[in-house]
């Protein structure tokens, strides 16, 4: 019995069950590899489902902070409009968080473009570091692994 039925726990328990009970029954090596690929994806989904909202809200806050710095340094109206397009996050359901994250990402992209146009090296460096952080989070979610046979 699962006494803490969180999505990460359910996915993890399903992957464990497949590995323990189903994988040993498969004699076909292709079927074994396919099942192992499914279990790997389930593991990544378990990590993602447990952290996705937190990662997106944390990143969004960093992106907006950066965009405000660029706005302060440049006064560029495109940055101001990109920031204003990001409404406060009051709904923590995934679709709302994704929309908030997407708009904050647009603010980051706009601000980085403006900082590059203005040749503001410290802000360019900071923006590039935010992009590296984003990639690192994405790699943590996907495991940055290649799937066998794909």
Which has more confidence, 2 or 138? 138
Return the pLDDT at 46.
85
Question: DSSP string spanning 52-103?
Answer: HHHHHHHHHHHHHHHHHHHHHHH--HHHHHHHHTS------SHHHHHHHHHH
- pTM (predicted TM-score): 0.78
Nearest to 55 by CA among 126, 113, 104, 122: 104
Tell me, what's the pLDDT at 142? 64
| Percent of the chain surpassing pLDDT 90 | 70
Mean local confidence (pLDDT), 24-36: 94
Query: Looking at residues 113-138, what average pLDDT do you find?
Result: 95
User: What single DSSP character describes residue 146?
Assistant: P
Q: Measure the CA–CA gap between 149 and 83, rounded to whole angstroms.
A: 43
Structural domain includes residue 2: no
- The CA distances from residue 47 to 9, 56, 109, in Å, are 10, 14, 27
Q: Which single residue is written with the structure tokens 């660029």?
A: 70
Sign of CA pseudo-dihedral 129, 135, 139, 145: negative
CA-CA-CA-CA dihedral for 49, 54, 57, 62, to nearest 10? -130
- Whether 47 maps to a domain, the answer reads yes
Is the residue at 58 inside a domain? Answer: yes
**Confidence grade of residue 139 (pLDDT, cut at 50, 70, 90):** confident
- Structural domain including 19 reads 7-142
| Domain annotation covers residue 148 | no
| Domain assignment of residue 149, yes or no | no
pLDDT band at 138 (very low <50, low <70, confident <90, very high): confident
Residue 44 has pLDDT above 80, yes or no: yes
Q: Residues 49-102: pLDDT tens digits? A: 888 888 899 999 999 999 999 999 999 999 999 999 999 999 999 999 999 999
Q: How many domains does the chain have?
A: 1
Instruction: For 114, list phi and psi in degrees, rounded to 5.
Output: -65, -40
Percent pLDDT > 70 in the chain is 91
Q: Which of the four pLDDT bands, split at 50, 70 and 90, describes residue 146?
A: very low
Q: Determine, yes or no, domain membership for 150.
A: no
Mean pLDDT across the chain, nearest whole number? 89
């Amino acid at each position: 019995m699962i006494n803490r039925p969180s999505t990460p726990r359910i996915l993890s328990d399903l992957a464990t069950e497949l590995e323990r009970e189903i994988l040993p029954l498969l004699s076909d090596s292709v079927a074994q590899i396919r099942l192992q690929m499914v279990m790997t994806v389930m593991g990544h989904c378990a990590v993602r489902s447990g952290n996705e909202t937190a990662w997106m809200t944390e990143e969004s806050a960093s992106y907006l902070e950066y965009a405000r710095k660029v706005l302060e340094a440049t006064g560029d109206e495109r940055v101001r409009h990109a920031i204003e397009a990001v409404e406060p996050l009051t709904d923590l359901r995934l679709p709302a968080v994704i929309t908030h994250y997407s708009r904050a990402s647009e603010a980051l992209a706009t601000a980085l473009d403006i900082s590059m146009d203005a040749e503001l090296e410290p802000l360019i460096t900071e923006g590039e570091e935010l992009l590296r952080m984003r990639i690192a989070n994405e790699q943590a979610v996907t495991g940055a692994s290649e799937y066998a046979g794909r």
